[in-house]
Amino acid sequence: MLRFVSQIDTDPSTAHDPLYVMFHGYGNDESEMIRILDAVYRQDDRADVASQPTRRPNYLSFRGTVDRPYMGGSYWYPDGCGVDERRRACSTIGDAVVSLLDAGMFSNRRTILVGFSQGGYLSYRMVVEHPTLFDAAILLSPSFTGETDTILASDTRCFLAYGTEDRTIPPADQLTARRVLNTAGHLEYHEYAGMGHAICEQEISDIRMFVDR
């Protein structure tokens, strides 16, 4: 069963604003991605935006389908599971999300996937299996084990980011992610010096510029 929180502005004047479809990392919950999106949209001190109203992003932020006992938080697929099991889990979730997005209130919006770690992998698999549906995918430190033979054929713009000190995602998997996403020809890649398996302020700024294009 899909669990999510949403913020959708029904004002007709915002009908073409993007819709963010977001998936958190292992052991977290839907609030993780809302914090990231809020940071992307927070009003800054630049003179060219100071007089503009604060934008209110539209989003669906999903909670992992499996709850983590004792420690809290959720996840999308078990640690250490095989590639086939991981892909099946992502397919089931992705198909359910796509069915939800078929609602009329979402029909005219640009749809942007956002995912961190496990959620980044899930977002990537949704692009693989639904290559014409999403306008962009923001993949933050995604897991990428087992994807060496994947060929991505999609016009979806992809933002891929890793920290140079990320010890959670092996370097070989990071290289695979970059190579596979590059095959489609729509990749924007960022690497952040000194950052681990996390999000940094420069990354937030780069995401803001990516979504504004």
Domains and CATH numbers, the chain: 3-10+26-42+54-212 (3.40.50.1820)
Q: What whole-number distance in Å separates Cα of residue 146 and Cα of residue 164? A: 21
Name the E strands within the chain.
3-7, 19-23, 58-63, 66-67, 74-75, 111-116, 136-140, 157-163, 187-192
User: How confident is the model at residue 44, as a pLDDT?
Assistant: 53
Q: Quick check: 53 pLDDT over 70? A: no
Give tens-digit pLDDT for 122-150.
Answer: 999 999 999 999 999 999 999 999 999 99
Work out the pLDDT band at 167, boundaries 50, 70, 90. very high
User: How confident is the model at residue 10, as a pLDDT?
Assistant: 75
3-state DSSP of 64-107: CCEECCCCCCEECCCCCCCHHHHHHHHHHHHHHHHHHHCCHHHC
Asked if 40 contacts 208 with a C-beta cutoff of 8 angstroms, the reply is: yes
